[in-house]
Every structure is written in C-alpha cells, then in structure tokens.
Chain A
Amino acid sequence: MKWNGFLTASILAFTVAGAAWSEEEKVLYFYNWTDYYPPELLAKFEAETGIKVIQDGYDSNETLIAKLQAGGAAYDVIVPTDYVVAGMIKDGLLQPINATEMSNFQYVKEAFKDPEFDPGRVYTAPYTWGVTGIAYDSAQVTGGELEQSWGVFFEPPAELEGKIAALDIGSEMIQAAAIYLGLPQCTESNDDAAKIFALLEAQKPKLKMYSADSTVDRMASGEVAMHHLWSGATARAHEIKDTVRFIYPKEGTPMFRDNFAMPVGAPHPENAKTFINWMMAPENAAAVTNGIAYANSIESSEYLEDRWKNAESVNMPPEFADRLVPTDVCSPAAQELRDKIWTRLKG
C-alpha cells in the first residue's frame, strides 16, 4: 500500500512535471514490421513536422506483443495486425487514440472505419491491408497459367516440385491448409488437425524451403517458381520480373488489416497522434502504397502511381471480394493443436 502510494505520488509528480514541460521532445519511436514503410516518407514527415522518427523493426505480431509484455520497451507507435488487436486491448497493452476525432479520419475508406476488432476505432487507425495468396512465375508453368486454387500449392503439379517456397509461419500455413480442406481455421478437433497435418506432411518433400524472409528477391530471382506469399511482396517481385503472377485462391484468401496503435507507456503520445493523423492524409497513405506495394485503407487512388493501379495484387479486382477471409483468433486449445501440427511437421 505504502509502495502504491509512493508510486502514485511519483507518477503524479512526473505528470505535473510533464504538463509543466508541455512541449514534447520532437522524437517519435516507431516500432514497425521490417521493410514495411517507405524511408522517403519518413523524411517527408520529419521535414513537415520537425519530429524525428526512430524506427525499429519486428518480424511477427508475436514478437511485438512479447516485447510490449516484457515491459521496458518505450515505443510511441506500433503496427499490430487485426487478429491481435482485440487481445492487446483486453490485456491493457494499448491506450486510446480516438482516431475518429482526428482531422484526417474522414478520408478512411468505409470498410475500415468501424472494424470488428476495434469497434469505433478507439485504439487503432488503419494503415495498410493485403492478402496471403500464391505467387507464381508464369514463365515456368506449362500453359502459363495456374488454377486459382490452394490446390496448386498444396498438391502441386509435378513440374513445380522442388521449386516451391512456403511461408515459415505456422499460423499462415495451417490457416491456408484448413481453408483448402474446408475446415475451421481454429479447429479444436483432432480429426481436423490430423487431416491438416497429413496435407502438410505430404506437401513438405515437394517444397524447396519454408521461409518468410527475402521473399521478393527469392521470387524475382527465379530461385523458386511458386511462393506462398503476401500480395504486396508479389507486386514488388512483379516489378522486377513481369512474369510473376498472383492467385487469390477461390477456396478463401486470408486477409490482413494492419493498424497504427499507441502502446501504454508511450513516451511521446502527442507526437504519436500527430503521426497517425498525418498518415491518414490521402497523399501520404498513397505514398505508402507507391513505396511498398500494399494497398492502403484511405481514399487515395488519385495519388496512386499507375503501375500499382493496374497491378492485380495491389488493387484487388472487385469480383474477388467474396473470397476474402479474415483471420480468426484461436482459443488456447486450438493453438495447442496448431503447435502440435507445426512441430511434428518439422520434428
């Protein structure tokens, strides 16, 4: 109790001191996925606001959460994906930013204004979105075209065997396999798990590797002919090698929506809000898409470069909209089964 009192007093003291300070230091700690923000846009933000951005990178939502939970990490803006947001709010890792009250919120696309993972956009603002599908090199395929199905990846034609890369991310692989087999993503049934495992095990010898790094290079250099891949990475590979194509699998195409959020304990909350609002300006949102080839969630098509407007993997053809499948949040029991499948696959 005494300790608590001391803590409250010191927090109060700091708050008062902070208020007296009023002007925040012109710095922003930005914790983002690696290679997921165009560097020249950061320079523009720094020039326009005078806030210096220090960026740090992570490779998965789990890394992000682990770092926040461990404490001691002081970040102002983070980029969590849809399926982890609700849990992070529940665990008290995020603080409200009230994105709807920001001046640029008006430009947000209707579909992203009130998502199920953060009703009313209290804690998050939309960044980019994309899908996980299949990239392939049409030059290495007889006939130059493949069926729009997960089947070509999980049960590939003989000519592609040994030339396929899968994402080294258990959740992505198991989700795709479950969708292909028509099973629930977060199945808690042993029978379903056994089916998923059998599919993945039979696929393994036909794969060249599992990897989620340097995917663009791998696809563009022709090291593999097919890659379980994200839409944006495929678009960038297509820029380098124009025979690269993208498949939105008809059985269901997992979709991800990435968001800006502010963790509890952010040292520069005002700068964070400035940044998040700035990012919702159409011109800046478009610069993201132009730079990293992921579609953004802002009405910004007038600023998009033509090469991305015409790229199927960036600008999804509207008829594929009903193929999009959001990522479910798995129960601990379902997660346990996923771990079992993934560990056995690689054991």
Chain B
Amino acid sequence: MSATSPFRRAGLVGPALLVVLILVGVPLGIMAWVSLLGRGATIGVDWQSAPSFANYTKLIWEEDFDGTLLFNPTYLSILWRSVWQAAATTVICVALGLPVALWMSSLSRGARDIAVLLITIPFWTNLLVRNYAWLIILREDGAVSKAANAVWPFGPVQLLYNDAAILIGLVYSFLPFMILPIYAGFEKFDWRLLEAAYDLGANRRRALTRVIVPLAMPGIIAGSMLVFIPSLGSFVTAAILGGGKSMMMGNLIQLQFGQSRNWPFGAAISVVLLALMMLVLMGIAIWKNRQERKT
C-alpha cells in the first residue's frame, strides 16, 4: 500500500469521526452536563442552577429521614443486584450457548441455515411481548408451575415475581447474542484439530478444555459483552417478571426520567453506569491483549 498523505487520511476518516462526534459525543456531553445541574420545578432540568456533584454524592451519602447524613446502601445494593444478575445471565448463557453453537456447527449446511434462522426468529417479536409470554408460561395456574410443583418435593415453588424469574427472562432474552458469535467462530472450525487432539491422547474433557474452549474464546468474549452490557441496563424484565419488587439500574434510571421527574439525577446514574461498562470493556480489552501477547 502506498503511503497516504495525512490530509488524505484525515479526509477519509473525517466524515465518520464527525458523525460519531455529533451523534455520540455531543449527546453524551449534554448528559454529563445535565448530571451536574439541579432538577426543574415541574419536570426536566433547571438550566440556571449552579453545577455541582450533588447528584453523584447522593448516590452514596444521603440525608436520613431524621436529618443526619449517612452512608446510603440503597443505590449500591441496586447496582450490586444488577451486576450480579447480569453476570449470572452471562455465565448461564455461556453454559447453554456453547453446546448449542457447537452442535449447530456440526450440522449440514442447509440445516445450519435453518438453525440460525430459528435462533433469530424470536427477534421478530418485541421484547415486551416476549416478556409477557413468560408471564403466562410461569403463571401459578400454568402448566410449567404445576409440573415444577409436582416434581419439587420441598413445598410450593413460586416461579414468578422474584429474582429467579428475572434471571430466566434475561437468559431467554439474550441467549441468541451468545450463541451467534460463538457459532460464527465455530463455523470455520477445523474438525481435524479435534481429531488430532484425540490422536495425541486427549480424552473428551481435555479436548474440550484445551481445544474447543480456547478456539471459541473470541466468540465467548464477544458474546459475553453482548449479553452482559444490555443485561446490566435492562429494565423491562425486572418490572414485569420480577413483579416490580426490586429495582435494577435500568429501573432506577427509568424512574428518574419518569415518575420522579428528576432528570439530572437520572443523568448522573446513567453516567455512572456508562463508566462502569467502559471499565468492564477496557478490562476485557487489556486482558485480551495480554492473552494475545502470551501466545
């Protein structure tokens, strides 16, 4: 490739950069600025207020009902619940997605296409509708609930309106995002590598951990990001399947922009969540870099 002049390069990259700057940078900047302001009298933002970090300190320190300033675990517990739920969702999705993706890649070409189609079909339906479908499936007088109660020996099982229900909903919603990247990696998988592993005396388990999983790793990482990040910000599932009893970060943000009418605080929580996601992404990138350097 011939060396391109810096001007030419700038000209080529410029439009894309400009679009990113205007469509991502500016809105983020506005959000960050709003997060420093006070709430409007009826709704929205008080643009005249002096900027401060009050909305951020409020996340950790809060005036109690008796007027004393004290450490407030409410938001941290909401954050912890979201992270925990998102992490659990990701792990379960890997556990379910890896075998499915592996099996898909072993199919004939035509069958593969059908399998991919089947996995993407749920996306044709709105997420909200699919969550409502789970509401009907898991209902107390529903078949699943009756079957579970017939098998489970320790008292009645409540499938809905708890953290387990949220987890089921999240795993269901995001599983395709795990299967597809892993499958994309397996699609070009050279099955002779597996045969070679067996020839060299690897048992099934060893072949899985030393050959298949490492080869699937890029797909697993991509899938994990695709699952973890939207799970962290999801709110529909918690509201519908969780029975609105415990909030996730997404619900907390939605509350600020809706019922609470406190946009600046909502913006502050969004900034924190965004920073958190950036940290996770950066962590993964650094870790990946190291892995690559090792090999």
Contacts and interface: CB of A to CB of B under 8 A. Distances in A.
Real binding pair: yes
A343 B247 contact: yes
B85 to A, nearest CB: 14
B2 interface: no
Interface in B221-249: 239-240, 243-247
Contacts of A190: 64-67
In terms of DSSP, what is the predominant structure of the interface of chain B? loop
A155 to B, nearest CB: 18
A168 B247 CA distance: 11
Given A197-B65, A223-B139, A343 B259 contact: no
B43 A69 contact: yes
A168 B262 CA distance: 18
B261 A62 contact: yes
A189 to B, nearest CB: 9
Contact of A339 (B65, B66, B73, B260): B260
Contacts of B39: 332
Contacts of A223: 139-141
A17 to B, nearest CB: 31
B41 interface: yes
Contacts, number: 96
A337 to B, nearest CB: 8
Contacts of B77: 347
A91 B252 contact: no
Contacts of B247: 343, 346-347
B75 interface: yes
B161 interface: yes
A227 B73 CA distance: 31
Contact of A60 (B239, B240, B244, B259): B259
Interface string A148-183: 000000000000000000001111000000000000
Contacts of B14: none
B185 interface: no
A171 B65 contact: no
B245 A204 contact: yes
B258 interface: yes
B5 interface: no
B42 interface: yes
Contacts of B261: 62, 65, 335
Contact of A343 (B44, B65, B245, B255): B255
A209 B161 contact: yes
B156 to A, nearest CB: 10
Contacts of A221: 141
A286 interface: no
Interface string B65-86: 1110000011101100000000
Contacts of B43: 62, 65-66, 69, 87, 91
A124 B254 CA distance: 29
B245 A210 contact: yes
A343 B74 contact: yes
B177 interface: no
B163 interface: no
Given A340-B62, A347-B74, A66 B259 contact: no
Given A65-B43, A343-B255, A335 B260 contact: yes
A190 B69 CA distance: 13
Interface in A86-101: 87-88, 90-91
B257 interface: yes
A214 to B, nearest CB: 8
Contacts of A15: none
Contacts of B257: 66
B259 A171 contact: yes
B74 A66 contact: no
Contact of A170 (B62, B66, B252, B259): B259
B115 to A, nearest CB: 34
Contacts of A335: 260-262
Interface of B: 39, 41-44, 62, 64-67, 73-75, 77-78, 132, 139-141, 160-161, 239-240, 243-247, 251-252, 255, 257-262
28 contacts: A60-B258, A62-B258, A62-B259, A66-B43, A69-B43, A87-B41, A88-B42, A170-B255, A190-B67, A208-B161, A208-B243, A209-B160, A211-B240, A211-B243, A213-B240, A223-B140, A339-B255, A342-B260, A343-B75, A343-B252, A343-B255, A344-B74, A346-B246, A346-B247, A347-B73, A347-B77, A347-B78, A347-B246
What 6 pairs across the A-B complex have the smallest Cβ distances?
Answer: A209-B243, A347-B74, A210-B244, A194-B65, A87-B42, A168-B244
Given A66-B43, A209-B244, A347-B77, 19 more contacts: A62-B258, A62-B259, A66-B258, A87-B42, A88-B42, A91-B42, A168-B244, A170-B259, A171-B259, A190-B65, A208-B243, A210-B243, A223-B141, A339-B260, A343-B78, A343-B252, A344-B74, A346-B244, A347-B78
